[in-house]
Structure formats: structure tokens, C-alpha cells
Amino acid sequence: MKPRNTLILFAVLVVLAAYVFLVEVPKSKQAPQEDAQTVALWDIPQDAITRLEAVKRDGQKLVLERTEDQTWWIREPIVYEADANRVAGALNDLVTLRSTRTLSGTLDLADYGLATPTMTVTLTLADGASHTLRVGDQNPTGTYRYMMADDRPEVHLVYSWGISNLEQIVAEPPKKPTPTPTPTVTPTPSASPVPTATPTVAP
């Protein structure tokens, strides 16, 4: 290879190395901008929730209530003790919803599926206070859902997975699993001993 070509290649490598160390490395150490901008949709203590009502646009409805002994029960569409783990998972997702972007100003709620929400969720707390979440359509990429919290006019973009647990238990009420009965083993009777003949003594 000619010395001139070698020098050109060396110069290119130096420029690339300088770009990586001066631009890409510092950029990789920065926190993702989207995560830094997310804000909590509301501040609701999960253990203060005593009732959840979720009504879908098609009329499908789920009502859950926590009794004084801290047991969760399904009240609609059936009456049955609820699976506490599934209820806790859905409630945790609801109270930790985070808005990645807020839309405000003059908005046509029909554009976001919020004029007639795909689902309306009402949370009732032990002190009698209530909070309402309106869930709208997905954004064009399907990554986010449009939502409105309480009576605030802003429309929020929230990750779709934040509401997926609730949608699942509305579609399939979280009935407490029935314990599998333990099979009873019947002991096998032991065989009766065979009598041994007594030898006869000759006279």
C-alpha cells in the first residue's frame, strides 16, 4: 500500500475515534429523555382502595370490593371471592401509571377515543374519596393509550401495558382458584396368615 493511502486511512481512523469518544460515549451516559419527562398520573395509595369499578364501552363490567377482613370479592358480573394476587397486580399498575406526554388546549376528545371512552375506571378509597380514569384509543404505533385522570382536562399518553392487566381481569373475572383436593390413599389390606399344621406324634 502506498504511504499516502496509509496516511489517509490513519487520518480517517483518528477522526472516527475522536467522534466516538467525544460524542457517542457522553451521549450513552445520559438518561433517556423520555423517561426523564414521565410524571405520575396521580397519587393514590394502593392500600387505601376499597372498591374498583371498570366499565367498558361495550357494556362489559367488573366490580371488586375489599371487605373488612381485607378479602377482595367480585361483585359483578358474578359474586365470588377474588384472586388477591391478580387484583393486587392490576391495582399496582393503576396507581403507578405515568404520563409520558401531556396534550392540552382545545382538544376534540373524539380524536383520542375519549368522547366515549373504551373503558372508564372508578376507584373508591376508604375515606369515601373517588378517582376516575378514562381510557381512550391507542396511538398510531400502539405503544401508548390516551387517558384522562379525574376531572382534569389534559389528555395523557400512557404506556399501553399499564392497563393490560385490568383489561384482562375485566374480560375474565379474577376468581380465586379452587384448591385441588388431596387424593385419599386407601390402604391395601394385608393378607391373612396361612395356619401352619401341627405335626401328629406317632403312638
User: Would you state the cell numbers that stand for residue 138, as one nine-digit string?
Assistant: 391507542
**pLDDT score of 132:** 98
**Residue 122 main-chain phi, psi, to 5 deg:** -120, 125
At residue 203, does pLDDT exceed 60? no
At residue 47, does pLDDT exceed 70? yes
Instruction: Give the HSE-up count for residue 19: Cα atoms under 13 Å, Cβ half-sphere.
Output: 6
Cβ-based burial of 17 (10 A; exposed 0-12, middle 13-18, buried ≥19): exposed
Question: Is 12 or 108 the better-scoring residue by pLDDT?
Answer: 108
Closest CA to 122 of 76, 177, 54: 54
Using one digit for the tens of pLDDT, what is the confidence trace for 162-197? 999 999 999 999 999 987 666 666 666 665 555 555
User: Would you state the cell numbers that stand for residue 58, as one nine-digit string?
Assistant: 361495550
Using one digit for the tens of pLDDT, what is the confidence trace for 78-132? 999 999 999 999 999 999 999 999 998 889 999 999 999 999 999 999 999 999 9
The domains of the chain are located at: 36-171
Determine what percent of the chain is predicted with pLDDT higher than 90. Answer: 67
Strand intervals (E) in 57-198: 61-66, 72-76, 80-81, 98-103, 119-125, 130-138, 144-149, 155-159
pTM for the predicted model, two decimal places: 0.70
Strands 72-76 vs 61-66: parallel, antiparallel or unpaired: antiparallel
The Cα–Cα gap between 113 and 135 comes to: 8
Length of the chain counted residue by residue = 203
CB 121 within 8 A of CB 53: yes
Position 25 confidence tier, pLDDT thresholds 50, 70, 90: very low
Find residue 147's DSSP bridge partners.
135, 156
**pLDDT score of 189:** 63
CB 37 within 8 A of CB 100: yes
**pLDDT score of 106:** 86
The Cα–Cα gap between 99 and 144 comes to: 10
Question: Is 24 or 115 the better-scoring residue by pLDDT?
Answer: 115
Position 3 confidence tier, pLDDT thresholds 50, 70, 90: low
**pLDDT score of 179:** 77
At residue 29, does pLDDT exceed 50? no
- Read off the pLDDT of each residue in 5-11 and give the average, rounded to a whole number: 60
User: Would you state the cell numbers that stand for residue 133, as one nine-digit string?
Assistant: 380514569
Using one digit for the tens of pLDDT, what is the confidence trace for 131-151? 999 999 999 999 999 999 999
Identity at 126, one-letter amino acid code: A
Closest CA to 162 of 42, 37, 24: 42
Identity at 172, one-letter amino acid code: E
The Cα–Cα gap between 114 and 152 comes to: 13
